[in-house]
């Protein structure tokens, strides 16, 4: 990645994003509230990298690469000068983000792509502070950014297609995967994450199960599948008619909470029941079904082996103080 990048906000998220881009070869300048803060965060990131490298979490030579490619700028203006891509990663406060974006707009090249790592704030609301808003969009990394592979790309109504394509290319050059989503409240990642958490808290409040047992069920059942398959592939493999039956069962006690999704009913009416019919939400040709099942089985066995090798997380029940 032969470009200059500026990260404005060098804390935990911004610093991690800086590591990701610098390890991919970009020249990354970190800026923060002061030159001293940026310098201290740079030192932290290099120390952290050495630890990650020693643990085998970063590749050999990573710290040397970061030492060469990652720097602390004396100011925001210094950081963004000559940058092809600027990523804003300051706290989730709209006024603060707009102020920083105004400063970036004034100092950066007019064709520099500007991204925000926001997880909740409207991209369109922030875009009002950006000169040439067609070059602005959300580029949302997840925590911890060096290790989570997915990145949300969130254009607002005026973002140009060229900006989206360039942002995706920059991110994917680091080895991450991108997904383009619309600028709606919560975007996609957090709407899904908080929908699950909301139902989990409902189960606790209703006395159905305690948090530890719910966490156990999530990570050892449907959560076990999620590293390999998203919800639509899982539904297709289970059978959309099965999903329809389960929704009807849930509606006996929760008619509104588990109303059958309109799109699911439409698929069933069309006779698209998932992999058993060759298509549901996704198309799986009959001659690929055996390969899909074989992949699924191998994936689940390998995941089980990995989890046994890693052992229980430090928050597991056996490790909790009595």
Q: Convert the pLDDT of each residue in 275-304 to its tens digit.
A: 999 889 999 888 899 999 999 999 999 999
Any bridge partners for residue 185, and if so which?
none
SS3 175: coil
CB 113 within 8 A of CB 37: no
Q: Domain 4-180 has what CATH class?
A: alpha beta
Strands 70-72 and 136-141, bridge-based pairing: unpaired
- Percent of the chain scoring above 70 in pLDDT: 98
Which pLDDT does position 320 carry in this prediction? 45
Residue 251 to residue 261: CA distance in whole angstroms: 12
Q: Would you place residue 144 in the very low, low, confident or very high pLDDT band (cuts 50, 70, 90)?
A: very high
User: How far, rounded to the nearest angstrom, does the alpha carbon of residue 185 sit from its chain's CA centroid?
Assistant: 16
Q: What is the DSSP string of 84-137?
A: SEEEE---S-HHHHHHHHHHHHHHS-TT-EEEE--SSS-HHHHHTTSSSGGGEE
Strands 70-72 and 4-8, bridge-based pairing: unpaired
CB 150 within 8 A of CB 142: yes
Q: Which two tokens stand for residue 320?
A: 């909790």
What pLDDT digit, counting tens, does each position of 49-71 carry?
999 999 999 999 999 999 999 99
Which pLDDT does position 284 carry in this prediction? 87
- Between the CA of residue 189 and those of 63, 177, 184, 220, what are the distances in Å? 31, 14, 11, 21
Which pLDDT does position 56 carry in this prediction? 97
Name the CATH architecture for the domain at 221-319.
Orthogonal Bundle (1.10)
Residue 197: HSE in the Cβ half-sphere, 13 Å Cα cutoff: 6
SS3 74: coil
Which pLDDT does position 321 carry in this prediction? 41
- The pTM assigned to this predicted structure is 0.93
Average pLDDT, the chain: 96
Q: Would you place residue 315 in the very low, low, confident or very high pLDDT band (cuts 50, 70, 90)?
A: confident
Q: Where are the domains of the chain?
A: 4-180, 221-319
């Amino acid at each position: 990645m032969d470009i200059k990048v500026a990260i404005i906000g060098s804390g935990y998220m911004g610093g991690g994003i800086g590591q990701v881009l610098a390890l991919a070869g970009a020249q990354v300048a970190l800026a923060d509230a002061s030159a001293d803060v940026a310098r201290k965060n740079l030192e932290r990131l290099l120390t952290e990298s050495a630890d990650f490298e020693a643990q085998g979490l970063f590749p050999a030579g990573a710290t040397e690469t970061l030492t060469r490619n990652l720097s602390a700028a004396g100011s925001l203006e210094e950081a963004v000068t000559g940058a092809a891509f600027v990523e804003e990663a300051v706290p989730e406060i709209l006024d603060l983000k707009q102020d920083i974006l105004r400063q970036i707009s004034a100092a950066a090249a007019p064709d520099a792509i500007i991204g925000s790592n926001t997880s909740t704030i409207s991209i369109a609301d922030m875009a009002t502070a950006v000169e040439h808003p067609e070059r602005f969009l959300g580029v949302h990394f997840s925590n911890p950014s060096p290790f989570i592979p997915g990145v949300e790309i969130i254009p607002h109504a005026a973002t140009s297609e060229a900006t989206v394509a360039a942002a995706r290319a920059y991110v994917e050059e680091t080895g991450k995967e991108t997904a383009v989503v619309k600028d709606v409240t919560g975007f996609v990642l957090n709407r899904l994450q908080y929908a699950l958490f909301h139902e989990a808290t409902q189960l606790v409040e209703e006395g159905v199960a305690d948090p530890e047992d719910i966490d156990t069920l999530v990570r050892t059942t449907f959560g076990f599948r999620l590293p390999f398959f998203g919800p639509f592939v899982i539904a297709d493999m289970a059978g959309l008619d099965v999903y329809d039956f389960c929704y009807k069962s849930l509606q006996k006690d929760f008619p509104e909470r588990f109303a059958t999704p309109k799109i699911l009913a439409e698929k069933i009416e069309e006779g698209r029941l998932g992999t058993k019919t060759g298509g549901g939400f996704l198309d799986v040709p009959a001659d690929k079904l055996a390969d899909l099942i074989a992949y699924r089985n191998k994936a689940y066995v390998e995941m089980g082996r990995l989890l046994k090798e890693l052992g229980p997380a430090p928050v597991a029940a056996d490790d909790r103080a009595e």
